[in-house]
Chains A and B, each alone.
Chain A
Amino acid sequence: MSSPLFTRGGFALPGTTSQFKTGTWRVQQPIHRHRNAPCHNVCPAGEDPQAYIAEFDAGHIRAAWETLVSINPLPAITGRVCPHPCESGCNRGDYDAPVAIHSIERFLGDQAIAEGWPYPVGKPAADAQAVAVVGAGPAGLSCAYHLLRQGHQVTLYTALGEAGGTLRVIPGYRLPDSVIDAEVERLLQTGIDFRPGQRLGRDIHLDELRGEYAAVFLAVGTQDPRDWSVGGVTPRDLHVGLNVLKEWMAVGSVPQAESVAVVGGGNTAVDLSRILKRAGIPDVHIITHNGLPGPDSLPGDVMRAVPREIEQAVEEGVQIHAHRGIRRLLLRGEQVVGVEMVHMKKLPDASGQLKRTAFEGTETLLHVDQVIPAIGQTIDPAGLEAILNGSAYLKVDEWRRVEGHAGLFAGGDGCSRGGGTVTSAVGDGREAAEAIAATLRGEGLPGKTVSEAIAFDALNPHYFEPLPRNEQHILPVEERIAEVETEQTLDPAQAKAEARRCLSCGNCMSCDNCWTLCPDSAVLRLQDKGATEAPYRFDYDYCKGCGLCAYECPCGFITMKEEL
């Protein structure tokens, strides 16, 4: 623009204000900043539900599934059995009700099974370094898959005849075998060298594996029932929870009894009690030191089973005696005829540690024909004696390296950081695979810093509407039988509606709010407008830095940065 011509009469060449850069006024600038959604930060597997729900909401179902399985290769399985801490963390819980993330995860997993989508992973190079994975449960499968994604050759050993490990002792009404088969078989087709029937300490030996492979990942799980007795007494015909479950899964029979007390508060105890109910035992009790899950429960004093499973067990007639301990077994000869229970609670002691306390004068008797402990298992030491050194678990560091043994990694149940769930086992496998790959490349391991999750306060709730949560259909009690899943997968319309409920915490949802509300037209929209990546650019030549876009961003994706 040439300089304006000033003549008598105030004549000026026309010019536009665009030649005046109001951006020079600015003392703070808006920037796009991705922040972690709380669901992402709390997921034991490391999933980023916000990311795949966004893909799904944008109509890209397969891309959503691929984003999901880039972290967790078993979504149809974890979508069914995970206690979903993601939903407890979900910011939408502060608005109306959390997004049913587990239902969406399950829907995507089932969709992939129905469509036969192959896992997004290529075949490893012929000269790629080989890694052995021992154990084909969720941790082993996850590690093998992620090693493959990192370009390694993987051999996966299991002592059992098929892959699945602990997944195979979850009853069919929760996790049907067909789902395990569908997911695991497709996973094994990715190029994993799968060798069933290879027991550690019998068919394969750790020393040999360590000689043969560049690294070894141990995902052996826990197989030995914990010792159980009451004051040194154990019933003669003692059945142990996990074994009863295994027997039921294999041959469909349970110990004969009129009334049974299951001891324990974890998933095994709850699964077992529901199986016993389904097998026709009229009177099934659960006795647990811990409390029922509720809003007031202390984190260390609540049953470890998934809350909705506990709820369904109660619906099915299982009687739960919470906050009770067994003081004494009532025996006739060596045959159990009942138990003496006492009220118990975990109370903080002087140092603030929760400690079990029994209350005198609260003893009650419960007449039962069978007592089945389901108080957990420990690692089977066969083949691992040298590493375990008498310990009940494998000691690992934050990258799942077995302490003091280079090239040896471990995860899942049976190691010191085991989270006790399928999902945490999947996370262990993935993190170990990352550590193995980095180690084999000769790189150092990155620090484990997780950026803080975005809080509900950082969102702008004005721009959202309350929407009812889409719940999975639950069979009425009278229709619940062993082979049929109690909860049904969402139908596509429900799943889509549920994905729409996501608040997209910390990530752009291309809603056009910033573009619409900027008084200075300093937010520009890109033409090829993606739905999951921010299709906007700030025009800093004109942006005055008022901060309106940041305040009004529904997702907390825009932050103001000081610029002086």
Chain B
Amino acid sequence: MTDTDDKALLKQLRVEQPRFQGIVSGHRACLGCGEALATRLVVEACGPDIMIANATGCLEIFTTPWPESAWRVPWLHSLFENTGAIAAGMEAALKAQGKSTKVLAFAGDGGTFDIGFQALSGMLERGHDVLYVCFDNEAYMNTGIQRSGSTPHAAMTTTSPPGKVRMGKRHLKKDIISIVAAHHIPYAATASVAYPSDIRQKVRRAMAIEGPTFLVIHSPCPLGWGHDGSLSIEVARLAVTSGLMPLIELERGELTGAMPIRTPHPVSDYLKLQKRFAHLFADDPKAREELVHLQALADYNIEKFALHSLGDDPQDTDGADTVTRGGMRYA
């Protein structure tokens, strides 16, 4: 095959991919960006009949470097704090026009847990038909890795450095899913980029519901978490299999589903891959205490959501990512 033929084939292939490409290549996400992957998976599962309100954050920045855009669906940049309100307005306007296009709100954890929280709460309370997706990379990555309400306990960020007094972030990760579910909305769920099929199922489930739905997707940030880009999926997977990131579904505030963990991994397997937790492996009693603390938090999740798998389940953490020849898993 000549070089020109090859170029022609690639050009043709790019437009002929057998999936909906709502976000195209050339975006400026870092190598191995979990958020870029999660976004692509969500948009793919939604299909073209959507409109997106996107809060300030990495996603907004890396997809729309002026004067370009990676989006091939209607997309609006909201402010950091008002994504919920903008999405609600878009939904109301479409409804007034008699259109059924689904409105999505995309935001990071900063825009969801902290800055955009009241707009989100209002949107949920008023019952707008919006799917709100939070890409949770556990800090303000876009502005230089500052701690957010979502940053896990003991993690290092530029505003929660480990030192003589504290081992990274002093506070706990905010339990956003419970807060959101307390709005009595029809559907709220957590997901992880390590489980694409699970993301798709949850997105489709939410898309089929008329009313406010909420999805938080755990998305590793190689730069902010301090791991190699090639390990993004591995890190995300260990967050789930250690119990630190339970994948659960809540309907009207009640727990209706949880992905069981077949073989729980010690949290240290997850932590030691990331520089933001490197201080926990120092020879220091405080470090040892925090390690045990994080393990206790994982154990608490496993107990609370009864995450222990009872025998090999095709939907548990080991079964859910099984592949077969021909790619039927993703069909």
Contact = CB atoms under 8 A, between A and B. Distances in A.
Contact of B26 (A10, A14, A21): A21
B327 A539 contact: no
Interface in A530-546: 531, 537, 539, 541-542, 544-546
B24 A521 contact: yes
Most buried by A among B18, B66, B67, B322: B67
Interface in A1-31: 4, 10, 12-22, 25
A326 interface: no
A359 interface: no
A552 B230 CA distance: 8
B202 to A, nearest CB: 16
Nearest to A532: B325
B196 to A, nearest CB: 5
Interface residues of B, number: 54
A117 interface: no
Given A17-B69, A511-B329, A548-B232, A22 B25 contact: yes
B273 to A, nearest CB: 12
A462 B66 CA distance: 40
A421 B314 CA distance: 42
A25 B321 CA distance: 30
B26 A517 contact: no
Interface string B309-331: 00010100011011111110110
A551 interface: yes
A126 B138 CA distance: 76
Interface residues of A, number: 57
Contacts of B96: none
Interface in B13-72: 13-14, 16-18, 21, 23-29, 31-34, 36-37, 40-41, 63, 65-70, 72
Given A12-B66, A58-B326, A462-B321, A522 B312 contact: no
Given A12-B67, A15-B67, A21-B26, A524 B325 contact: no
B229 interface: yes
A546 B66 CA distance: 24
A511 B327 contact: yes
A547 B325 contact: no
Interface of B: 9-10, 13-14, 16-18, 21, 23-29, 31-34, 36-37, 40-41, 63, 65-70, 72, 196, 222, 228-234, 237, 312, 314, 318-319, 321-327, 329-330
A154 B230 CA distance: 55
Contact of B230 (A522, A525, A550): A550
Contact of A527 (B16, B31, B327): B16
A534 to B, nearest CB: 12
Nearest to B230: A547
B131 to A, nearest CB: 21
Contact of A519 (B14, B34, B237, B314): B34
A12 to B, nearest CB: 3
A418 interface: no
A81 to B, nearest CB: 30
Contact of A465 (B13, B14, B41, B312): B312
A21 B13 CA distance: 16
A465 B230 contact: no
Given A15-B69, A17-B25, A544-B31, A517 B10 contact: no
B32 A16 contact: no
A529 B70 CA distance: 27
B143 to A, nearest CB: 21
B59 to A, nearest CB: 12
Nearest to B24: A18
Top 9 A-B residue pairs of the complex, sorted by shortest distance between their CB atoms: A512-B327, A547-B230, A12-B67, A17-B26, A546-B229, A511-B323, A546-B31, A546-B32, A542-B25
A450 interface: no
Nearest to B233: A552
